[in-house]
Structure 1
Amino acid sequence: MTTADSHNGRRLTARGEKTRARIVAAAADLMYVQGVGPTTLDHVLAASGASKSQLYHHFDGKEALVRAVVDHVGQRVIQREREALGHVSTVRGLRRWRDALVQNNALRHGAYGCALGSLAIEIADHDTIAREALSQLFTEWQGLLVGVLRRLQDGGDLPPTASIDQLATGIMAALQGGYMLAQTARNVAPMATSLDMALAHIETLSER
């Protein structure tokens, strides 16, 4: 059985697909920890155990590999957020979502930040295709928050006049800004505070 490689149009065998996935996963881990710029193709080869010919069979170079990493990380993050937010319909549920993200980031003392946000900071100004892919991923993530807020509104916990899209943007900005502050401080407290303020505003609206 063969599948299409979406980046170069080549057909992949099941074995080739596994090799490609192993390269992308290794690159994603390295780029998350040490950054996109410092991560070289030689680093990726060493971490993945792939040969140079295998890497260049799947990718024309580092730019193509970075774009594959964006897709890989994006799918992972969005799937996590779908599972976390897909059925949330209360402010308490949003609080539990906040707690899980903060607690997970606390395990690293805030280091490395958001996997998607870190990629965006490094590559958004240098690769239009990658930037557009990241923009779509953030839009999808924010859309999940819109879904939660709409369920709150439908249940009477938010007034009909509340701007759902603006509130979702505020929560996302608090989350990403919180990740960045936690990363620089090596302390998750700023992330917790920024999310608490965003959710406190939601709670204020729900009490009216």
Structure 2
Amino acid sequence: MAEQARDKGDSRLTERGRATRERILRAATDMMYVKGVALTTLDDVRAASGTSKSQLYRHYPDKDALMRDVVAMQAAEVLERNHRLLQRLNSVRGLERWRDALLERNALHNGAYGCPLGSLASELADKDEEARKAIARHFATWEGLLAAGLARMKDSGVLREEADAGELATGLMAALQGGYLLAQTARDLTPMKIALDMAIAHVRTYAVPAEAGNSNAGSEEV
């Protein structure tokens, strides 16, 4: 997914040109995640990527064009990671492992920067309609990964038939994004963990007795 995002629009570039574009985009993505979109200037990106003004403007004539590619790259990387974690999800324990992986990654910065995709949404949703729609699609894809896993849990008898995979996935995503925001403001992962634990506990209320009563149930599953 990330590779597809990087290849988009640069099929006519030379290998050297693609490497320059990649360097610019990587620098911009990292800076916008840490500093935010508004506080990241093209001069900042030029300096961080070690490119000249002519090189920068050849690939990105304005900040909006760069920002939209940043959204695409950040989304591709987030979705790629979550696809690996959720593609075989088939147990409540698998949801807990997904939670643990997200917490571990966010702990690298003590929650300081929030969700890579959510932080872009908070800055751009009211300012750039194209970016808002793109981010909404990416969130829908992310939520869809969760919904597919929850549907598999229903199909395999882990969750009761009345469980609504779509609604449960929305609840998990809402808990995750709220948790990211609270962790970011507190510089403490505890609120994020609590939010995810409560959302997973709600999923567990739909588990069949064998799953609900045995913390090791599904331990061979993801």
TM-score, length-normalised on structure 2?
0.88
Instruction: Give, in whole Å, the separation in 2 of the partners of 1:199 and 1:6.
Output: 37
Distance apart, 1:130 and its partner CA: 1.0
- Does residue 64 (structure 1) correspond to residue 88 (structure 2)? The answer is no
How many Å apart are 1:11 and its aligned residue? 2.8
Partners of 1:14 and 1:24 in 2: CA distance: 15
Aligned counterparts, 1:41-120, within 5 A: 41-120=42-121
Range 74-83 or range 103-112, more displaced: 103-112
Tell whether the 8 Å contact from 1:24 to 1:65 is kept in structure 2 after alignment. yes
Match of 2:148 in 1: 147
2:196 corresponds in structure 1 to 195
Distance 1:88 1:164 in 2: 13
Question: Is the alpha carbon distance of 1:173 and 1:43 closer, same or farther for their aligned partners in structure 2, counting shifts above 3 Å?
Answer: same
Task: Tell me the residue number matched to 2:13.
Answer: 12
Q: Give the aligned partner of residue 214 of structure 2.
A: none
Stretches of structure 2 that go unaligned for 5 or more consecutive residues are 1-5, 210-222
Q: Are the aligned partners of 2:160 and 2:208 in contact in 1 as well (CA < 8 Å)?
A: no
Gaps of 5+ in 1: none
Runs of 4+ deviating beyond 6 Å: none
The SS at the match of 2:159 is coil
SS at match of 2:72: helix
User: Which gives a bigger RCO, structure 1 or 2 (Cα 8 Å, sep 6+)?
Assistant: 2
Q: Give the alignment's Cα RMSD to 1 decimal.
A: 1.6
- SS of 1:11 mapped into structure 2: coil
One-letter amino acid of the counterpart of residue 183, structure 2: A
Q: Identity percentage over the alignment? A: 54
On the 8 A contact 2:157/2:208 being kept in 1, the answer is no
Which residue is 1:176 aligned to?
A: 177
- In 2: Cα distance, 1:163 partner to 1:156 partner: 14
Give the 3 Å change call, closer, same or farther, for CA 100–5 of structure 1 in structure 2.
closer
TM-score (ref. length: structure 1): 0.94
- How do 1:160-175 and structure 2 match up within 5 A? 160-175=161-176
CA–CA distance in structure 1, aligned partners of residues 190 and 204 of structure 2: 20
Question: 1:156: how far off?
Answer: 0.9
> Over residues 102-148 of structure 1, what are the superposed CA-to-partner deviations in whole Å (9 max), with x where a residue is unaligned?
12212311110000000010111111111111111111110100111
